[in-house]
Amino acid sequence: MKIGIITYWDSDDNYGQLLQAYAMQQFLLKLGHKPELIRYKELPVTSSGFKISKLKSYITNFSSYVRFVLDRRTKAKYDRSVDNSKREFNKFRLTNLNMSAEEYDLKKITETPPEADAYICGSDQIWGGSLPYYLSFVPSDKIRIAYAPSFGGMNPFINGNATVIKDLLKKFRFIGVREESGAELLKENGFKDACQVVDPTLLLQQDDYIKLFETSVQTKRKSENAFVYLLGNPIEAGIDDVFAFINGQKLDYTYVASQGRVDGFEKKLLTIPQWIEAIASSKLVVTNSFHCVVFSLIFHRPFVFLPLAGSYKRMNNRIYELLDKVGLKQCVLTGKRMTLDYCIDFSAFDSYQRKERERSIKIMKSILG
């Protein structure tokens, strides 16, 4: 069966985004289907300059507004100084993803949608995006599946599209979201059969990912090296405290950053296979990324999760829910003092991953055959 998948796919620095798309395709291929990533791109968001209508808000939240403007300028400067092509994300897409020949915007995907027997939206935090991520473009006689999309802590049922979104969701054959909180939100809004499923990256195993890098950097040994991966979102911990802790462990480090993180520590630009290998071979992983935590679990690497701060705190729930299910909430940094237990028991995670993979296989087989 040909299956069209719509998700985020065009980043040049977010490793998890590309790997969740890869994992979804590999999972469907193992079930005997023909997945194709639909290359849909939303229109760029209009720049949010000063607006007189928001003057009261600016005055009330002046310090936050100033910090936002300065952060945006810093990020823009960083983006111009970093050659993201060295990460080779486009090469990974071309080599490892089956993608639609056409690239779609909202008008094109609505008027001439890509052909498939069934359509899947997910994974990633797409349910804060535009209506095509709710499969608005899919013909009425086709199968619609939501597999692990995330609301990202947002509530789409309180905005102007709420009625449209509810009408679209009623057409789905199956709705499985990535977080329990998302499933509860759906149930509160009338979708009683909505459930939680795992992120696609958890549907594959170590060997599935080792195949990506064993031809070039075949390294399964564990090193005396820490791997630090930070998205640009603010964290509760100070970056100086993070590296002081790593130095205190007498570890060298490899530091990779995404989305404009600017600080005084040396960073590297790794390819996706190298990024996975760096996690798999490290003695310690320190991150604020959901998918970096997932790969630390898959490869049984000790890790510390650095909670996001400010308005991004809502995105911590996806980590907390996962680690609570596998009994590893002690890996979350609390306060500013970092501690680490290198003897983490991953057996509960292994059992959880196995059961969830079998459950997802059963779900997909019942829907797709």
**Contact (Cβ atoms closer than 8 angstroms) between residue 37 and residue 99:** yes
Tell me the three state secondary structure of residue 308: strand
Question: CA-CA distance, 66 to 58, in Å (whole number)?
Answer: 9
CA 141/CA 244 separation, integer angstroms: 58
Given this model, what pLDDT does residue 52 score? Answer: 53
User: Which residues have CB under 8 Å from 320's CB, separation 6+?
Assistant: 329, 332
pLDDT tens-digit map of 181-192: 999 999 999 999
The set of residues, in sequence order, having a beta carbon less than 8 Å from that of 50 and lying 6+ positions away, is 58
Residues 129, 122: Cα–Cα separation, whole Å: 12
280: part of which helix (H) or strand (E)?
helix 272-280
Q: How confident is the model at residue 47 (pLDDT cuts 50, 70, 90)?
A: very low
* pLDDT beyond 70 at 342: no
Residues in the chain: 369
66: confidence class by pLDDT, cuts 50, 70, 90: low
pLDDT of amino acid 68: 43
Res 33: pLDDT: 98
Higher-pLDDT residue of 11, 44: 11
For the stretch 87-128, pLDDT in tens is 999 999 999 999 999 999 999 999 999 999 999 999 999 998
| Nearest one of 294, 165, 312 to 233, comparing CA atoms | 312
Q: Is the peptide bond before 123 cis (omega within 30 degrees of 0)?
A: yes
pTM over 0.85: yes
- The Cα–Cα gap between 229 and 268 comes to 10
Phi, psi of 274 (to 5 degrees): -65, -35
Mean pLDDT calculated for residue range 329-340? 77
Main-chain phi, psi angles of 295, to 5 degrees: -70, -30
List, in sequence order, every residue forming a beta bridge with 40; answer none if it has no partner: 104
H/E run at residue 217? helix 206-217
